[in-house]
């Protein structure tokens, strides 16, 4: 039999199409060097109802305020690459330190230039909402960054009314190495960073694999713990209407999302 002998016919009717392959769409803009965010969102967020769609943005180490700022011009194009010409339910830009340097409002404007009116989540804004819903007014902060890169973050939280009891940084400047900090080390540094008088601990950086060990750290400290990726996952889920309580992921995942 030759190919010309095969009869290929059309089906009896055109397929009936669902409105969407999945009900909700979360867009992620992550750094070219990011090892952690995508895996965290697949573990904590993606399900039979919610799809996670990822694009990467150019970035080169070291992690300095100057290099972080260089990502701003690429944000609109990056957002436009996520399901072009199709609406998204939320877009998350996954860099905590850059969100501080560039600014939440400017990130939102850049993303909405490609995806008009889409809700935009940044790790910093999500962390603020998470700490507020936890009732935290005084906090301890742990970052993997250098002192230079940590200073703008300290100012960000104090400008928003938080009292910082203790701020600890690890002095690192390569986000690929930040992703290699072991769970045991994250837990140990968290214990070192937490001031007894603080209401909660914030562990910064979407590269750090802290979300996986937040429940362990909360048990160790007896206080709420918020990490960058836990906060953004929580915010994106709640914006998508997913209110399921998941205490296995940490106390934050039992809370509602309060906008504003």
Distance CA 240, CA 125 (A): 17
Q: What is the pLDDT confidence band of residue 25, given thresholds at 50, 70 and 90? A: very high
Domain total for the chain?
2
Residue 7 maps to a domain: no
Is 113 among the domain residues?
yes
Q: Does a structural domain hold residue 212? A: yes
Q: What is the domain extent for residue 166? A: 125-227
CATH code assigned at 244: 3.40.50.12500
Q: Do 254 and 235 meet the contact criterion of CB atoms below 8 Å apart? A: no
Q: Is the same domain home to 235 and 144? A: no
Could you read off the pLDDT of 170-223 as tens digits, one per residue?
999 999 999 999 999 999 999 999 999 999 999 999 999 999 999 999 999 999
Same domain, 191 and 201: yes
pLDDT band at 5 (very low <50, low <70, confident <90, very high): confident
- Helix locations, 29-163, DSSP H: 37-44, 65-69, 75-80, 96-102, 104-112, 123-133, 147-159
Contacts of 48 (CB under 8 A, 6+ apart): 22
Residue written as token pair 């400017």:
106
Would residue 1 count as lying in a domain? no
pTM > 0.75: yes or no: yes
Q: Note whether 67 and 195 are same-domain residues.
A: no
Are 38 and 101 members of one domain?
yes
Same domain, 76 and 166: no
**One domain for residues 99 and 189:** no
Please report whether residue 131 resides in a domain.
yes
- The answer on 161 and 118 residing in a single domain is no
In the sheet with 120-121, reading across from the earlier edge strand, the strands are 50-57, 24-31, 90-94, 120-121
Q: Verify that 190 and 216 share a domain, yes or no.
A: yes
108 and 195 in a common domain:
no
Q: Is residue 17 part of a domain?
A: no
């Amino acid at each position: 039999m030759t190919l010309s002998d095969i009869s290929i016919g059309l089906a009896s009717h055109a397929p009936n199409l669902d409105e969407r392959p999945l009900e909700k769409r979360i867009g992620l803009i992550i750094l070219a060097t990011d090892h952690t965010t995508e895996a965290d969102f697949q573990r904590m967020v993606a399900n039979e109802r919610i799809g996670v769609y990822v694009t990467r943005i150019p970035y080169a180490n070291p992690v300095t305020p100057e290099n972080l700022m260089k990502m701003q011009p690429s944000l609109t194009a990056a957002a436009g690459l996520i399901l072009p010409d199709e609406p998204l339910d939320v877009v998350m830009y996954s860099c905590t330190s850059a969100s501080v340097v560039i600014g939440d409002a400017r990130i939102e404007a850049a993303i909405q230039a490609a995806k008009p009116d889409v809700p935009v989540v940044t790790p910093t804004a999500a962390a603020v909402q998470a700490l507020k819903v936890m009732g935290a007014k005084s906090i301890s902060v742990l970052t993997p960054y250098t002192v230079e890169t940590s200073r703008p973050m300290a100012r960000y939280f104090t400008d928003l009314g938080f009292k910082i009891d203790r701020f600890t940084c690890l002095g690192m400047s390569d986000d690929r190495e930040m992703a290699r900090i072991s769970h045991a080390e994250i837990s140990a540094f968290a214990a070192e960073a937490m001031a007894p008088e603080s209401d909660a601990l914030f562990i910064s950086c979407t590269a750090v694999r802290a979300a996986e060990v937040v429940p362990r750290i909360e048990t160790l400290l007896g206080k709420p713990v918020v990490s960058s990726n836990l906060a953004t996952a929580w915010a994106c889920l709640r914006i998508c209407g997913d209110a399921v309580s998941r205490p296995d992921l940490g106390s934050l995942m039992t809370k509602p999302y309060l906008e504003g």
